[in-house]
Each structure stands twice: as structure tokens, then as C-alpha cells.
Structure 1
Amino acid sequence: MSMTQRALDIGAQVEEFVRTVVAPYESDPRRDHHGAPTDDLVAELKEKARAAGVLTPHILPDGGHLTQLETAYVLQKTGLSPLGPLACNTGAPDEGNMYLLGKVGSPEIKQRFLEPLVEGRARSAFFMTEPASEGGAGSDPSMMQTHCHMDGNHWVINGRKAFITGAQGAKVGIIMAKADEGACMFLVDLPDPAIRIEHVPNTIDNSMPGGHATVLIDNLRIPADQMLGNAGEGFKYAQIRLSPARLSHCMRWHGACQRAHEIATDYANRRMAFGKTLIDHEGVGFMLAENLIDLKQAELMIQWCAAVLDSGDLGTAESSMAKVAVSEALMRIADRCVQVMGGTGVTDKTIVEQVFREIRAFRIYDGPTEVHKWSLAKKIKRDWKAGNA
């Protein structure tokens, strides 16, 4: 697929910034107890991105949004460093939340909640997943137990959420809860005394500030005009968000694996063993060759799904296929990079070890591989029945 000149120009500017300005920060010691970048580090990077003209590069000065195909190209460039999406304001969950609010938010919601996100002045959190130990919603959102009801001109929400990325330190929250009419989605200013962070677990990944918190929502009162759309439309809006957000994860981590492959390639061409460089050992050279194949196949899968979304289709099945194919391919790439680099590959001397951990988590986030395959199998059965009715 041919890329627009607009995207090529933005992508080149972003790549230069990430490689020359952001990458040196990868060894910056400003990290929390879990190794995630602190908010002051992220703020410093965002200021540099703003000065370089690459802050929120997928959203145009007039408020328009790059196409999904263009976004794929640009976000891959931000992903060339684990810090790149944070610096350029294209990371999760903010990028997906910006996309959703830009699509369906009222003018008032856009001004109050979207603008600070686009300008990089605030982080956000999406409150959907619930504790598995309590039978709450995970990959099956219909199991949602967080509930809401009207009280005068306010909605009152109660429940517990889990694995809420970036909740600690976020200023904008999007909360999903269930009313008699069905699922609902609300916007809320953070912090709020009725939303209490109970626990932030240590997880295998640590690229995103604020971690993945467990949160108690205790009699949270939200004005009725802060509901997104109407009561019962929450799942519809979640679908608008999830397919593009699922794909943008693929975009960013594709960039990270491209960089990991470059590091492993450099190592293999410099490191001597048994009388020759590692690249000249067939076992090593073949792994790097397989990386090239997987990188290209993943790139093409991302572009194909992006084109489907640009056609106006929700792309539910297509994004499931892309999520499975790309996350599994990227896992193979990250694993090979570690293997090629041997002992060095499991240290923090390069980002290869972190990329491996982040990709392992990505195979679960935004729907585990098995859930997407199950969903696709159900579609296969439905299509078969329709064709044999």
C-alpha cells in the first residue's frame, strides 16, 4: 500500500526525534518502584516533543485525525523506543481514549476532557476490567459488575476495577458501569475521593506510568451530562474504541521490535565466537532472517486492518486477526533478539530485555490470543450457518 506524503513527512520527523532525543533517556534513572517512567520524566520528554513539533502527531492542528493507515506509519515510528509513545503522546490508554472522545464526545466533553489529552497536559485511564476473583468483567465485558443508577441529575457508581492502566496519576477517567438499560460510559475528573486506588501490582511490563491499578469506586456521583452518549450505549462506544486501540498497540510494538532487531543485528555483526562473527553462524543468521520475515508480515497485517477501518467498517474480526498475528509474530521476534544476544540479551544494558517483557504482556492485553481465536471461530460458524441456511 502506498503511504501519503503527509504521513511520510510526519513519520520522518518523529523517527528523527525518537532516535536522537528520546532514546538517550532510556537509561534515565527517574523510575518508580516498579521501573516505570515517573511523571516528571514523561513531562520533560513531552516538552521536548512539543518543541520539536511532534507532540500528538497523529492529530492535526485543525483537530482532524490522520487516517488509520497514516497513523500506523507514524505510531510505528514513535514505538522505536519504549519511551517514544510517552514522549509523543501516542501511548496507551491515552491514544485510544483520544480517538473515542474525538469520535463521539459532545462539544463540551471534547473541550473539558479531550483537549488536555491532545495537548499533553493530562493522562487518562479507561476503567473497564474488573477483578477475576470477584467474577468481574475481563475478556467478557458482559460479566461487568460495576453498577450505576440515577439519583436526581447525577449517576451514582459503585464497583471495583482491576488492571486499570495509568490510573495512578491520571487526570481524566472513562468509567464503564452497568445500568438497567445496559452498559454506560462516563467521563470523570481525577483524582476523586470516591475513586480509591487499592493496589498497584508489579507486572511483567513497566513501560506505562501509573502501572495497572486495582481501584474501588465507592458512591461516585457524576453529573448526567458527563455520560458519553445515552444509557445502554456503553458497549457500542467500547467497540468504536477497541478495534483502533487494539491495532495501535500493534503499531507501537512493531516499532519497538524493529529497534530490538536492529540492536540484535548490530550485536551479531560485532560479537565473535568460534572464530567468526555470530551473523556468520547459520543458526544466528537464520534467526535474524526470520525476524525480517515476521516484521514485514506484521507490517502488512497492520496496514490491511488499518485500511479496513478507514473504509468505515468497525473491523472487529479484522482487528482480532491482526492482534493475534502481530502479537505472536512480535513475540517471536523479541524472543529471537534475546537469544541472539545471549547473556547480554537478558540484562538492562539494552532495551531488548524490556521489549521482550512488554510484548509478552501485549499477547494478553486488549484480548488474549485465545479469546480472539475463539471469537473468530464463532464467526466462522455463523458464516457457515448463513451460507447453508
Structure 2
Amino acid sequence: MEREKVLILAMVDPFHKERFRYSLDELKALTDTAGGEVKHVLTQQLEKPHAGHYVGTGKLVEAKELIDQEELDLVVINDELSPTQLRNITNKLEVRVIDRSQLILDIFAYRAKTKEGKLQVELAQLQYLLPRLAGQGAEMSRLGGGIGTRGPGETKLETDRRHIRRRINDIKRRLQQVVEHRNQYRERRKENKAFQVAIVGYTNAGKTTFFNKITTAKALQENQLFATLDPLTRQTRLPSGLQVLISDTVGFIQHLPTTLIAAFRSTLEEVTEADFILHVVDASHPDHENHEKTVLSLLEELEAEGIPRLTVYNKQDKVSGPFTPMEQPSVNTSFLKESGTGDVLSAIENVLRDVWEPYHTYVSAVEGKFLKTLELNTLIEVREYMEEKDSYVVRGYVDPEHPLRNKVIPKESRDE
């Protein structure tokens, strides 16, 4: 399929030039992921965007000349536009114009595979589209005609606000049923007291590589942004034998459209329900500190910042010079190394030793089933058979919230 020829139009904040450069690189990668080919980049230094048309009129004239000369198909703006800005720029340039948010929504539409994922993206697209309908004519009325127009729902979208509002209400109702089903599933997991780990991180940090290596899953693993959209949960075990459910989640990104965060809230709740968060960072990325801050602020927004967390600084094989972690506890590794995933699993156990309670108990040799239960649900450090007692001495750590705590820690110790 022929790639669309794209012009990127961006405003440079004179006070944050370095951050702008990373943001522009990211937009180019997003355009590539969406199937576009960046032919030209036009920038203008402004302290704040022009209220009516984002950049100055002279810059728009320059853009129009480039579009006509090179027969470009699409203009991508490196910020979220107001409905007025979008309308004015489109009228001036006489070509399809989309902003950063629309581009991200488009990639999500392309990546969504499950019924729930498709509904969530369509909801986000419609909520984004609703205030931007006026004056967009045919360009906004159809889906399926190139970057920024893909949608998992209808192929033709009437520019009738009532129709869109009805569709939004319908999707919300259907998603509510999915949320209720997910909540029932979560409740069952809670009853079984399965230990849940959520992998979070900036898009393309290496989350899915890690997930695939420690589980039998074969999730899509690509060097592209948002390769994982629909969350996957699989079972695995830590070196001590502790059984965990581990979930791979959608990658975060700076300036994630607010409609998308709202639409994906039920998916992101997988993070809030976790017992442990594994935050994977691409340590080799020059802007990794801002990537970290983006993820941490989203965790705060989800009210998940209080959950025990380990930060994994991945891709150390690409880091040149000394590296200082921003967060603790942390582990520096590379998932491409043989020991990479093992380093992380051992580090998870180290964090649990700090937050769980130590226990010391005796288990009769005939209680093999209970011994197995301890192995799967607690962090066993010592398990030795004592012939004179015909029992095992077991020492380890137990989750203070787990029902097993009452069986392995004597009441007098618990009351201290």
C-alpha cells in the first residue's frame, strides 16, 4: 500500500527547545506507525499557539506552497488543535489536516483487535469528533480514507450530532456490560487471592518483550509505538515458586488524548487492581526522564501510586556512560541479555521481602497439599525436612492481606 505523503507543522516553544525536539521525533515515529511518510517539517518559534490558526499566516502560506508543489496528502500538527484552529487551517491549506491526538487515535483504531478495544477507540474518536464537526464537510463525514480517518466502527459517519450522541450512548452501554464482566472476573481472582502484577511503561519501552519471555504468550512484539493495545494476562512463577498473574498493558505517551484515557479507563483499571506494578523504562532513550514522569503522573491520576512498585531500566546494552536511576527500588538490565528477565524476577522478590511479613512455621510431612499452597502463595526462603519431628521447617514472607497469614503467624505474634 502506498504511504501517504505528510507535512508536519509544529510550534517551537523557545523555553523548551530540547523537549520539543524529542516531541517532534516522537511525532515522526507516530506518523510512520500510522503508515505515513514524513516529507517535510515546518516549524515556527512562538511563545504560545495562535488562537485562530495555531501558527502565523505567513507560515500557513509557506505550507500551502509546499503542499501544492509536492502534492502532499496530509498535514499533521504537533499539538491538539481547538475546533476553530482545525477548521481555519483546513480551509487555508485545502488538504486533510489532523492533530497529534487524532493521529494517536488513528493508530489505536488500527491496533485494536478485541471487541472491547474497538469500542473504546470508537468512543474516544466520536467524543473527539463531536465538537469538531462544524465546517469540516465531507472530510469529517467519512471513515476509512487514510490516516486520521480510520475507525473500527462504521465506515461512513453522518455529520449529525444526534446520530453521534446516540452512538456514544450505545457504546457506553455496551462497554458498561464489559466492565461488569471484567469486575466479576477480578472479584473471582481476588477470592482466589492470586497475586497480580501489572507491567506499565512508556510505549516501546520493552514491556511486551519481557511479558513474552516470562510467559508462554506470543503477544505482538514490534519496534513500533503502541504495538500492544489490548491487555493480556498470563500466569507465571517467581524463582521462589510464588505464582503470579502478570498483565501487559497499553503503553503510555506524552499528551495522550484525554478522550482516550477516559475511554480506556476500564482497561487501565487492571493497573489499579494490581498488587504490584512493574514500571519498564527505556533507559537508552534521551528523553527517558520525561517518559518516566508521564507514566508516574498517569499512575497518580489512576490513584495507583501507592501500590508497591519496581522500576526496570531496560535496554542498558544501548546506554553509553554512567546511568543514574531516577526511581528506587530499581534494577538496571536488558531484556535481550540471558539473565535480563531473571534479574527482574529476583528484584520483585526483594521488594516483596520489604513489604511483606516474615513467618516461621512447621508443616507436618503428611500435609503436602498445605506445603504446596505455601509455595504458590508465599515467598519461601527456607524449607527443610526435620527427621526427628517428621515435619518441614518453613521460613519465608507472606502478604499481610492474604488469608494464609493467619495460619503461618501465631496469634500472639500478630497481636504484638
TM class, shorter-chain normalised?
A: under 0.3
Q: Which has the higher strand share?
A: 2
Bigger radius of gyration: 2
Q: Which has the higher helix share?
A: 1
TM-score, normalisation: structure 2:
0.24
TM-score, normalisation: structure 1:
0.25
